[in-house]
Amino acid sequence: MKNMKTHYSRSHANRGAKLEMLVEMTNNQYRNAWLADIRKVPTPVKILKTEGNKVSGHLDTATWVDYNGIYEGHSIIFDAKETKLKRFPLKNISPHQYQTLKSWHRHGAVAFLLVAFWLEGKNEPEIYVLRFEQLAEAYEHQETGRGSKSISLDFFRENCIRVKSGNGYVVDYLAALNIEAKVKEG
């Protein structure tokens, strides 16, 4: 077997960077206003070697999602995803990420995806909250071969809450969650 090298892909490494920057700005605004405390989960690093102050390693496979925290006494957990397509490919969610969202949802957390569509010719993305229940239906159908391997932008437009700037927040996703209504319902 030949010695295989891993090549650095700048486009792959920066995938999701625009949305994550907007979410980080918003999370800082939420914290400063004492509205919520939601934090980015650091990407795990596998340390290979240490020599004095030098550490060598590589990014490990993420087994968690991007964000978790608390809002009005409710656990929040979500992942931020981006696409330039008019559909959201379900392969963008790893099985570990899906299982984490599923577990937290079953234990009462507000679990969801924040999905940004960066469409050609548009300066701003269309950002939507895809609740776990909606994700689960699509994800499980595609896993069994009974459904599509992606969710169309039209589905998001017709069935999901669009996230916009508002109330002084860059990407006011908490307003789109409508947690009070969810709590009262069940």
DSSP label at 81? E
Q: Binding site annotation covers 99?
A: no
Contact by Cβ (8 Å): 165, 171: yes
Contact by Cβ (8 Å): 85, 125: no
Q: Is 65 exposed, middle or buried (0-12, 13-18, 19+ CB in 10 A)?
A: buried
- In this structure, the strands spanning 74-83 and 110-117 are parallel
Q: Binding site annotation covers 37?
A: no
Q: Binding site annotation covers 172?
A: no
Half-sphere exposure for 20 (CA within 13 Å, toward CB) = 15
Contact by Cβ (8 Å): 76, 69: yes
Whole-angstrom distance, CA of residue 171 vs CA of residue 163: 6
For 86, phi then psi, to 5°, come to -95, 25
As annotated, the binding site for Mg(2+) includes 66, 79, 97
Annotated binding residues, written as ranges, equal: 66, 79, 97
